Amino acid sequence: MTGSDVTPQQARPLTAEAGEFHVDPALREVLCYLDDGRLLIAKSHLFNVNVRAFRMRLDRLGRKHQVQPVEMSEIAQVYREARRASVASVSEMQAAALAVFQRAVALRASDIHLRVARERAARLYFRIHNDLEFIEEWSYEYGAQLCTTIYQAMTDVSDATFETLSRQDARISERAKLPPGLDGIRIATSPQVGGHVMVLRLLYNDAVGGEGLAGLGYGAQQRAALELMARRPSGINVIGGPTGSGKSTTLQRLLAGLIREMQGRRNVITVEDPPEYPIGEAVQTPVTNAEEEEARSRAFQLAIKASMRLDPDIIMIGEVRDTPSARLAVQASMTGHQVWSTVHATSAFAILDRLIDLGVPVQLATDPTVITGLVCQRLVKVLCAHCKRPLREALKNYSEEDVRRVLGVLALDRVNVRGEGCEHCRGSGTAGRTVVAEAMVAEPELMAHWKRDERDKALALWRGNQGGVTMLEDAIAKIASGEIDPFQAEEIVGPLDWGVGARG
């Protein structure tokens, strides 16, 4: 056998630099594992301890291999020919990846999922308006090559190898590798049974556009509360909600508005892991990526401490993620800075519970000079204006119990539901998403009620003094305006008959 007998077209080296199996360069000189199952091993290294370890690795993974002794020069020739062929194929695959990105942007997808598995081939999904939609299926080989190309040839990490058996993070920010409309793509990978998965979060460059908070769906009372929070010189304002509820977008939109209003007279520092959307005139500081969660937490703490030494007026901390970051965020607010951050929480009042769970003392969590604002939000789909239907015309599609629940809070003539879909909404019946939210300015009496566990009194005071509206009430108002479907809204905020005003 000679090296020319094994061309990349006939068999692809899985141990190449960007291959499925990561091996040290020294080991690559004496073996080559091909996708047809052959394992080329240099004759003089058949019993090398590292070669034996690689064979045991294949056995553990259930990957069959047929040993074929060859000269070292033949192994080198296989890799050389694979590199020559990959130059053209990488360019073609980059074009294919860019085409996938463009399709996703055209559909306003938030995420791209590439699921690659030998038993189920490779499948492409887009997350559109919070729903995963199957787009296309490819061969396992094509999907694996596409993922490798995206990670190896398009991301910002230098000299990186895509390792399908490891969890890796990366980012694409080079303008030539992004379609119009995107500022970047954040990438996370993970092994799965029989293959791997790659998820790409699309970071749109209009996330901080001129529409402001009203464009996100925030109502007059909520915007007034946020404006009051922004006028306080110090204290921390926290935006809560589950993953994917638009917290980061709200923060970016809010800060961009503050910067425009102040015309550069305030120093805005952000601490993000990693920075997602560009905010003009803000100093956006990234957190050094680390593989282990403990190391990442330490890096995040160091970044928060460093931000306080950069003469900030406003600090934005991307997420209060653990006890040290929660305490540092509170400390920053107590040293005369206005702080904005996010946390996973189910309601405005639940943000206080979450901060206490993270180690913030109760006396600080209930101090209105320290915690100055609480906001919680979720995203609900907006009905397509062209094909939505009055509920009256679709009663037969719903159970009596469902209809009775809706009519318990709304008049029948005021309710619309999702239609069958049309050309304007690609058959989905929906056209984007809107915020349902609650915004609460911390006041001494309100926080005192909460500290004494008098939550009903705190809620009543919020309603009376600030005209407060809960997320449930906000959703019901948007249903009454014909903007959202009541049954889709219930998937996000819970049953409409839970009682308006019963939840905080």
pLDDT of residue 291: 60
The CA distances from residue 396 to 45, 400, 495, in Å, are 74, 9, 20
Model confidence pLDDT, tens digit, residues 271-312: 987 777 778 889 988 876 656 677 878 888 888 888 989 999
User: Is the separation of the CB atoms in 486 and 417 below 8 Å?
Assistant: yes
Tokens of 499: 């009682």
The answer to whether the CB of 429 falls within 8 A of the CB of 388 is yes
pLDDT tens-digit readout, 132-152: 999 999 998 899 989 999 998
Phi-psi region of 334 (alpha: psi -120 to 50; beta: other; left: phi over 0): alpha
Which residues does 44 contact at the CB level (< 8 Å), separation at least 6? 30, 72
Q: Which helix (H) or strand (E) holds 133?
A: strand 131-138
Rounded to a whole number of angstroms, the CA Rg of the chain reads 27
Residues 163, 152: Cα–Cα separation, whole Å = 10
Bridge partners, 239 (sequence order): 342, 375
Q: Where are the alpha helices (DSSP H) in 237-361?
A: 247-262, 293-307, 323-334, 348-357
Distance CA 122, CA 12 (A): 18
pLDDT score recorded for residue 2: 42
pLDDT for the residue numbered 86: 63
* Contact between 446 and 465 (Cβ < 8 Å): yes
Q: What are phi and psi of 389, to 5 degrees?
A: -125, 145
Question: How far are the Cα atoms of 60, 113, 141, 410 from residue 119, in angstroms, in the given order?
Answer: 18, 17, 12, 50
Contact 229, 348 (CB under 8 A): no
Phi first, then psi, for residue 173 (nearest 5°) are -135, -10
pLDDT of residue 504 exceeding 70:
no
pLDDT score, position 344: 94
Neighbours of 231 (CB within 10 A): 9
The model's pLDDT over 352-410, given as tens digits with 9 standing for 90+, comes to 999 999 999 999 999 999 999 999 999 999 999 999 999 999 999 999 999 999 999 99
Distance (Å) of CA 390 to CA 180, 377, 380, 397, 405 = 38, 27, 18, 12, 16
- The confidence band for 8, taking pLDDT boundaries of 50, 70 and 90, is very low
Question: Does residue 436 sit in helix, strand or coil?
Answer: strand
The band of 74, judged by pLDDT with boundaries at 50, 70 and 90, is very high
In angstroms, the CA 186 to CA 200 distance is: 6
Give the CATH fold of the 212-498 domain. Rossmann fold (3.40.50)
pLDDT of residue 50: 95
* Between 255 and 287, the higher pLDDT residue: 255
Report the candidate in 128, 124, 135 with the shortest Cα–Cα distance to residue 109.
128
pLDDT category at 211 given cuts 50, 70, 90 is: low
> In this structure, what token pair is assigned to residue 302?
């160091």
CA dihedral over 389, 392, 398, 404, signed as positive or negative:
positive
pTM of the model: 0.74
Pick one of 3.40.50.720, 3.40.600.10, 1.20.140.10, 3.30.450.90 as the CATH number of 84-204. 3.30.450.90
Angle between helices 247-262 and 220-231 (to 10 degrees): 60
Domain boundaries, the chain: 3-81, 84-204, 212-498
| CB neighbour list of residue 337: distance below 8 Å, 6 or more residues apart | 234, 308, 312, 313, 314, 315
- Encoded amino acid at 62, one letter: G
Average pLDDT for the chain: 89
CA 58 to mean position of chain CA atoms: 34
